[in-house]
Amino acid sequence: MSIRILDCVILEGDLPEHGLRRGDLGTVVETYAAGGLEVEFLTAAGDTVAVVTLRESEVRKATPADDVAARSSA
How do residues 28-55 score in pLDDT, each as one tens digit?
A: 999 998 889 999 999 999 999 999 999 9
Query: What pTM did the predictor assign?
Result: 0.92
The residue type of 45 is: A
Please report which confidence band the pLDDT of residue 2 belongs to, taking 50, 70 and 90 as the band edges. confident
Angle at 73 between CA 67 and CA 74, to 5 degrees: 145
Q: Is the pLDDT of residue 22 over 60?
A: yes
Domain range list for the chain:
8-61
52 with 41: CB under 8 angstroms? yes
pLDDT in tens, 52-65: 999 999 999 999 99
List, in order, residues 6 or more apart from 53 with CB less than 8 Å away.
32, 36, 37, 38, 39
Q: Is the pLDDT of residue 1 over 70?
A: no
Alpha helices in 26-69, H assignment, sequence order: none
* Max Cα–Cα distance, the chain, nearest Å: 36
CATH 2.30.30 for the 8-61 domain, yes or no: yes
